[in-house]
């Protein structure tokens, strides 16, 4: 499970590290999503398209955030390449960022709003259930 979400950080266009995992097949999506459902790690999914201007504008910001928030998994899905996945997540505009934990959507940002995206990531990554809280609830 841990190996599925780990990836070496590679320098992005501006030289900053990026840990964004681009998903190019339904099989890879299914593998990553199944692994995600068994973890409490926050996952941020960027649903975008190669022809989308706002998507291109926020891409360097998304990559930069992936280098900074190392406790969060960042996935990128092209809606034209994986239309079935985009339909499943009810993506109707690009970019759409879906924040998920434990297989459930916890937040969504539609549009290239970097401040709202960063606020949401900070909110939901700090809201991660602790092991002791989970044990106390059991």
User: Choosing from 20, 52, 58, 117, which is the catalytic residue?
Assistant: 52
Count of other CB atoms within 10 angstroms of residue 35: 17
CB under 8 A, 24+ apart: contacts of 125-132: 125/42, 125/69, 125/71, 125/72, 128/40, 128/41, 128/42, 128/101, 129/40
3-class DSSP state for residue 93?
coil
Q: How deeply is 110 buried, as exposed, middle or buried, from its count of CB atoms within 10 A (0-12, 13-18, 19+)?
A: middle
In DSSP terms, which residues pair with 73 in a beta bridge?
43
- Residue of 20, 55, 85, 121 marked catalytic: 55
**55 catalytic per annotation:** yes
- Catalytic residue IDs: 52, 55
């Amino acid at each position: 499970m841990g190996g599925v979400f780990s990836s070496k950080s590679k320098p992005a266009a501006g030289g900053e590290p990026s840990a964004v995992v681009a998903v190019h097949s339904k099989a890879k999506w299914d593998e990553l999503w199944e692994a995600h459902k068994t973890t409490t790690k926050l996952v941020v999914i960027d649903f975008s398209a190669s022809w989308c201007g706002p998507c291109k504008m926020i891409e360097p910001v998304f990559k930069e955030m992936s280098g900074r928030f190392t406790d969060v998994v960042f996935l990128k899905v092209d809606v034209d390449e994986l239309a079935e996945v985009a339909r499943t997540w009810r993506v109707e505009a690009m970019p759409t960022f879906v924040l998920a934990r434990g297989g459930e959507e916890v937040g969504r940002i539609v549009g290239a709003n970097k401040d709202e995206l960063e606020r949401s990531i900070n909110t939901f990554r700090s809201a991660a259930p602790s092991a002791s809280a989970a044990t106390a609830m059991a």
